[in-house]
Homo-oligomer: A and B are copies of this chain.
Amino acid sequence: MSVTAVEGFEAAGIASGIKPSGNPDLAIVATADRRSVTAAGVFTTNLAQAAPVQVTRAHLADGRAAAVILSSGNANAATGDAGRADALRMCTLAAEGIGVAAHDVLVCSTGLIGIPMPMAPVESGVPALCAELAPGPEAGLRAATALMTTDTVAKQSRADADLGDGRHIHVGGMAKGAAMLQPAMATMLAVLTTDAVVGPDALHSALERAVQDSFNALIVDACTSTNDTVLVLANGASGGPEIGTSGHAYHALVEALSTVCDDLAHQMAADAEGATKLATLTVRGARSGDEARRAARAVAASQLVQCSLYGQDPYWGRVLSELGASGAFLDPERVDITYNGVTVCRHGIAAIHDETALRESMTRRDIEIVCHLHAGRGEATVRFTDLTHAYVDENMGTS
C-alpha cells in the first residue's frame, strides 16, 4: 500500500544510528531494474532551502531519476557547504549501492535544523540499506516507517486510474509530517511512484496540481519548512502512448496523484502533534479562489481559533474577525458561519440556534466550519487542528 504498490519499484528502510533513539532513520525507493525514469518534484518556497533540497533540484534538472534516498532525525539544513557535500555523499553512497549514476539519485532529509549531518551512520547505513531493497508491501512499510519523526503512524496510500483508452495506471505513495500548523516548520516529505507513461513536463504539471489542493491545503503549510519536498517517479510500465499536458489521460493522472496526496495529507492532519480536533474549514462566496484560500488560511492559522476548538467552544466571533483581517474582501454584515452544520452567525450577527445540540457536536474529533462571504463564487477548503497543551509540550525543546 505504499511506493511499492506500483509494479517495478522497490523500497527499504533501516535503523542506521542517525537517531539516538535507535528507531529506523534511513529509507530508499528505487526502480526494480535500476533504470532511471521520468521524475518530478515540488519543493518548499522557503529561501533557506536545506542542502538535500538543493542537491535534489540539481539532480532533477534532466527530469529523470532512478532512486530516492531519505533520512530522518537530522534535516541537514543550515549546514552550508559541508551540508551540501553530505547530501551529495548520500546520493553517491546510494548510487554505488544500487549501481546507478549519483545524479540519478534524489535525496530528502527531515529532523533538526542547524546541526551537521552525522555521517558515520550514513556511511555504514546506506550500503546496508541498499542490500535490503525489495518489492512488496512489507518493504514499502519499512521505508515509510523510516521517514517518521514526530509522526505516530507511518503514512501510505495508493490509487488507480482509468485512462479511458483501455489502460489503467497505478500510483503509490508514502509521506511523513505532523504538527504542520502554519506557520510551523515541521517538514513534510512525500515520495510517489506511478507506472504512467509520461514526460517530465507533464509529470511536473500534474504533481503541482495534485499538491495544490492536498498538502498545500493543510494549515499545516507545506511550503514553509526548509526541507519540504514531494517527489514522483514514473516508470512507464503501464505502456502505450505518452500522457501529454492535457486531455483525458492527463486529467486521470492528476486525479490519481491527487487522491494519493489528499489521502496522505489527511493522514498527516489526523496525526498532528498533540491535536485533539481535526477541523475542516470551507470558505465559500469569496471574490476569487485565491481570496477564499487566503481567508481560509487566516482563520485556520489563528492561535485563538485553534484554542477555541481545543476548548470545544464554537466562538464564531474570532472566525469573523480573522476573515475580516485576512485581506480577502468581505462585507462583514453579509457573512454566514456554520459549525457542524449549525448556523451560528447570519448576516454577520449571532443567529439563534440550539446551543445544547451544538455544544454536544463540538465534543467530536472532527469539526466542520463553513463561512459564506456572499461576495462571489470563490471557494477553498483547508484542514487544521487545535492548539493544545500537548502541542506546547512537544515543541518546547529540541530534545
> Measured between alpha carbons, how far is A225 from B316 in the docked complex, in Å?
14
Could you say how many copies of this chain the assembly holds? 2
- Contact, CB under 8 Å: B114 / A316: yes
Contact residues, A326-340 vs B (CB, 8 A)? 329-333, 335
Q: In the complex, what residue of chain B is closest to A181 when comparing beta carbons?
A: B303
- Contact, CB under 8 Å: B389 / A78: no
Find A324's partner among B48, B301, B388 (CB 8 Å cutoff). Answer: B48
The interface residues of chain B lying within 8 Å CB-to-CB of A397 are: 308, 311, 313
User: Which of A12-20, A238-246, A345-353 faces chain B?
Assistant: A345-353
A120 contacts the other chain (CB 8 A): no
- Contact, CB under 8 Å: A310 / B392: yes
- Contact, CB under 8 Å: A349 / B307: no
| Chain A 33-57 near chain B by CB (<8 Å), digits 1 or 0 | 0000000000011111100000000
> Measured between alpha carbons, how far is A231 from B118 in the docked complex, in Å?
57
A302 contacts the other chain (CB 8 A): yes
Contact residues, A74-111 vs B (CB, 8 A)? 75, 77-80, 82-83
- Contact, CB under 8 Å: A78 / B349: yes
A318 contacts the other chain (CB 8 A): yes
A185 contacts the other chain (CB 8 A): yes
The interface residues of chain B lying within 8 Å CB-to-CB of A77 are: 317, 321
- Contact, CB under 8 Å: A48 / B395: no
The interface residues of chain B lying within 8 Å CB-to-CB of A113 are: 315, 317-318, 320-321
- Contact, CB under 8 Å: A321 / B224: yes
Find A396's partner among B49, B114, B302, B311 (CB 8 Å cutoff). Answer: B311
Q: Which of A46, A49, A345 has most chain B Cβ within 10 Å?
A: A46
A323 contacts the other chain (CB 8 A): yes
The interface residues of chain B lying within 8 Å CB-to-CB of A45 are: 325
A237 contacts the other chain (CB 8 A): no
| Chain A 354-393 near chain B by CB (<8 Å), digits 1 or 0 | 0000000000000000000000000000000001110110
A119 contacts the other chain (CB 8 A): no
A115 contacts the other chain (CB 8 A): yes
- Contact, CB under 8 Å: A46 / B184: no
- Contact, CB under 8 Å: A398 / B313: yes
Q: In whole Å, how far is A294's beta carbon from the nearest beta carbon of chain B?
A: 13
- Contact, CB under 8 Å: A332 / B302: no
The interface residues of chain B lying within 8 Å CB-to-CB of A331 are: 47
A235 contacts the other chain (CB 8 A): no
The interface residues of chain B lying within 8 Å CB-to-CB of A75 are: 317
A136 contacts the other chain (CB 8 A): no
- Contact, CB under 8 Å: B389 / A317: no
A121 contacts the other chain (CB 8 A): no
Q: In whole Å, how far is A316's beta carbon from the nearest beta carbon of chain B?
A: 6
- Contact, CB under 8 Å: A80 / B396: no
The interface residues of chain B lying within 8 Å CB-to-CB of A70 are: none
Find A350's partner among B115, B322, B330, B332 (CB 8 Å cutoff). Answer: B115
A45-B325, A347-B80 known; A304-B184 Cβ under 8 A: yes
**Cβ-closest 7 pairs across A and B:** A113-B317, A48-B324, A311-B396, A307-B395, A48-B332, A114-B317, A224-B325
Q: What are 16 A-B contacts defined by CB distance under 8 Å? A: A46-B321, A47-B324, A48-B335, A75-B317, A80-B349, A113-B315, A113-B317, A185-B318, A186-B304, A226-B321, A307-B395, A308-B395, A310-B392, A311-B395, A311-B396, A389-B392
Contacts beyond the supplied A48-B330, A226-B321, A311-B397: 9 A-B pairs with Cβ under 8 Å: A78-B349, A79-B349, A114-B317, A226-B320, A303-B395, A307-B392, A308-B395, A308-B396, A389-B392
